[in-house]
Chain A
């Protein structure tokens, strides 16, 4: 009853907000727009455990995990009865381990991180604990401070199942020194009759790519690897061409004209401006190509920029010459990791204490200053973060990217749709299928997968 009452209040509040506030983005759902702190007075925050509890946390072995691991002793010092044990592993090992933990009578993991294609699947299967009441009961948590599209991924059917950990939205990383080179600028002006600038449309992007190829440097280090990678990269092209995977009513539209244009231009770029024989490249090969000074641009995770610009980092002498921009067209593919609490852990309260501490404004700021990928607006607009982190320009661009971004795919079958569509896209780039054939097959497959219960 209490839960239903809370949801009703939240819904009423949400409707009120959307009625008098700015127009919501298409991705926003009324319930998720709710100002959760309003209900804070109704529930008490969880009390610390009376006996020592050890929480096991599954993590992906990436630099963001190292930062969390460095911050955690602070939490343990503040909460002597809660110990944190991390189980860090490569991405590919995580999904089945998490699922096995869900299916066990008692969870192996008290806290998990959820990749955005898994969120609806896990939440709809009843594997995750709703966090609305916890959020409402946590003073000063300010859930709405997380950037809208990032926050939305953790909301399924009006309930919050995950709070943001870090983002991996895509942006365009370029060699700024090449774009600023007067010689290249003059040549480009002479050839195309317009100044050489970082492209904002697909047509310009292909043209700039081909121009750099003519100058002896590849125009774009692309990632057409089958499955996840090609879909992740190409969907930015799809947005730029005005397309999408599905329309607002949930109809599959991946075989429409916009998609055709996006794929034709993507293939043209691959054939005329990308490094040859890079059909199986993922983000690591692209990063190496950029770091080695072989390519002028790449569409990749926004936080690749600090990696490339790091003195003594992989780019060597080129460090400092890279810059981040929004992808052509502006709308980017959004990836996020969220913290979530499995339904079958007996330590939900303690788990929330850790998760809410780590994602609180104060600790999240520390995490971002240490190099973590940001998710909170207040952190990205904080002058201290600009000074101690990667500079004002970087965080402002990331905020712009995140505000106009959409997840790769949603729904309980997102993982399968991404992989299957990504197979057809790769076939088209490889020349095994025509653009029309590949998109038709991808659309049919997406419809078949979406129709499953």
Chain B
């Protein structure tokens, strides 16, 4: 029998074919597109341009601004989500917390709202003239221009924190509940308590879960588009233009698919690096 006809390969074949069709082909096609001056209004005139679309990105300030904004957004949003999520997970894990099952359910609700609706909601909640949050702050004598050029990106990150901290909380809480009890008992016998317990026992034990949660959230946060689209459209200026929104503009508003595909490929590289880290972390924690 030909080695390729072995049962295991035959069993794998349908999945490989499906993956090839739904992932392999689009990826290969977009790579081809990224190497051509492919414009949707003139598909018949697409010509091979080699790496020109990629080299063009090097001198494209809007692209680099979008990359910078996206990285800032991811670091701020995921960083805050980790701190808040971990704190909340510790609270909800603690048996002395009153009504912790009720709080657990309530805290999870934001992540069940579609992000575009969250964007529209905060667009008006944070509106200086019409929004309830600036009105409440005004009563306290605080004035914040949430969507001015200084704060707009940070405001979008905060909206992400509002929506996705529950996801971080869910993963970390599951991690906490799966931890063995012996190390905690041993630490308690040795006199550890409070912060020392968290610092020297919980955090080291939770490291793989935290890393996995952070990488999953980072992968998701890199895709930020809805808040930008619903609230700022990338403004003021380009201060909230994220890479996904930039790709959308070039590809679907201006129809310059070659350039958009090249940008998307650079994003794929970043995402692939994160995925490799995720697999590495998961494999290490499994062993």
Give the interface of A toward B (CB within 8 A): 92, 95-96, 99, 103, 121-122, 124-125, 127, 225-227, 275-280, 285, 288-289, 292, 294, 412-413, 415-416, 419, 423-424, 426-427, 429-433, 453
Q: B237–A426 contact, CB under 8 A?
A: yes
Write out the residue numbers on chain A whose beta carbons fall within 8 Å of the beta carbon of B234.
226-227, 423
The listed residue (B130, B237, B249) touching A285 by CB distance below 8 A is B130
* Interface 9-residue window, one of B10-18, B70-78, B145-153, B186-194: B145-153
The smallest C-beta distance from B254 to any residue of chain A, in angstroms, reads 5
B236 & A277 in contact (Cβ 8 Å cutoff): no
Chain A residues within 8 Å of B229, by CB: 92
Interface CB pairs A-B, < 8 A, 8: A226-B233, A226-B237, A285-B129, A412-B41, A419-B254, A423-B238, A432-B236, A432-B237
Q: Which residues of B contact A453 (CB under 8 A)?
A: 42, 45
Chain B residues with CB under 8 Å of A121's CB are: 41
Q: Tell me if B232 is interfacial: C-beta within 8 Å of chain A.
A: yes
Assess the A225–B43 pair: CB atoms within 8 A.
no
Distance of A131 Cα from B147 Cα, bound (Å): 46
- B253 part of interface (Cβ distance < 8 Å): yes
Residues of B within 8 A of A429 (CB): 236
Which B residues have a C-beta under 8 Å from some C-beta of A? 40-43, 45, 127-130, 134, 145-149, 152, 229, 231-239, 249, 252-255
In the assembled complex, which residues on chain B have CB atoms less than 8 Å from the CB atom of A278? 128-129
Could you tell me if A430 and B41 are in contact, using CB atoms closer than 8 angstroms?
no
Residues of chain A with a CB closer than 8 A to B255's CB: 99
Q: Compute how far the CA of A432 lies from the CA of B232 in the bound complex, rounded to whole angstroms.
A: 16
CB contact between A433 and one of B128, B148, B237 (< 8 Å): that residue: B237
Chain B positions within 8 Å of A419 at CB level:
249, 253-254
Known contacts A95-B253, A427-B237, A430-B148, A226 near B232 by CB under 8 Å:
yes
Asked if A125 and B42 make an inter-chain contact with CB atoms under 8 angstroms apart, the answer reads yes
CA distance A432 to B241 in the complex (A): 14
B252 and A226 within 8 A (CB) = no
A431 and B148 alpha carbons, distance in the complex (Å): 10
Inter-chain contacts of B249 with A (CB < 8 A):
419
Chain B neighbourhood of A99, CB < 8 A: 40-41, 255
- Alpha-carbon separation in the docked complex, A174 to B17 (Å): 64
Residues from chain A with a CB closer than 8 A to the CB of B127 are: 285
Of the residues B128, B232, B239, contact of A277 by C-beta under 8 Å: B128
CB distance from A242 to the nearest CB of B (A): 27
